[in-house]
Copies of this chain bind each other. A is one copy, B any other.
Amino acid sequence: MPARDAPPLQLILDRVYARLRDEVDRGKVADYIPELKHVDPQRLGLSIQMVDGQSFHAGDADTPFSIQSVSKVFTLTLALGKVGDALWRRVGREPSGSAFNSIVQLEYEHGIPRNPLINAGAIVVADVILAGHAPREAIGEIVRFVRFLADDDTITIDPEVARSETATGFRNHALANYMRAFGNLHHDVDKVLGVYFHHCALSLSCRQLARAGAFLANRGRLVGGANSVVSEERARRINALMLTCGHYDGSGDFAFRVGLPGKSGVGGGILAIAPGIASIAVWSPGLNANGNSQLGSRALEMIAREADWSIFSG
């Protein structure tokens, strides 16, 4: 997948930014988390982190935003490091075929969520990370891990967003209680949700997010360092899960249009991976009908096409 005859990446980012910055149809900012609905819908950030260490940016690439479900990629990585393949006894690896917060599947499949990138699955992952510790410790561990990945100790959680979700996240409370009824949560529901809501409230800029996700493009190794975060096989497998499950019930469409593994969040961010080449982070707060960033998806489609990046081509 080398970029043959493609324009320089900075030029691509600048072009994409120029074409989308004034777009009128930007989707709808998430309003079910009170703190999120005040975000400026005009924001648009674009960052590319190459595995060779170079990086490219456009627009609001340095403005932190709530990464929400994009954080599930990092907690999944952490949980796999703790329990390995034993995780798959409690969470599936299949696309859900339904909305990100659907509870129907849990009833039919006896409390086992379809995959770790939908809400129910990520709540099980939070339960794994909690592992008998206090929520505060588990949250601290997640923050340290993301700072380590991004090589940036300024990254923090937005406490207002975490509090806002704790108070209004009734569906997630329903999902957690439902899995607890099936014995698939091992800790107190409020503690597990405490961890979950806090890691969803991580604030990163596109620059930081692209950097934090770069190990997935780099066969599991940190960019610019000798450190291996995960094995190459595990990096592949996380990418596979992002491709099949990373955009809820829009995952097939994202694979079809963009052709790269990606994970979206209702804060409007998306992290995408061009294996062996780069990680890409985009942010635009307005969402489409599936709950994925509308302009972010379009930006990634344009970047992938212009750079000639697709995992489905040779």
- Which A positions have Cβ atoms within 8 angstroms of B? 1, 51, 92-98, 102-108, 114-115, 170-171, 173-178, 180-181, 189, 217-219, 232, 235-237, 239-241, 243-245, 249-253, 255-256, 259, 261, 275-277, 310-314
Contact = CB atoms under 8 A, between A and B. Distances in A.
A1 B261 CA distance: 16
Identical copies in the complex: 4
A178 B189 contact: no
A180 B169 CA distance: 10
Nearest to A258: B240
A288 to B, nearest CB: 14
Given A93-B252, A311-B275, A177 B173 contact: yes
Contacts of A259: 236-237, 240
A266 B110 CA distance: 21
A48 to B, nearest CB: 15
A105 B97 contact: yes
Nearest to A181: B170
* A102, A181, A189, A217: residue with the most chain B Cβ atoms closer than 10 Å: A181
A103 B105 contact: no
Nearest to A239: B312
Given A97-B114, A107-B102, A244-B255, A312 B180 contact: no
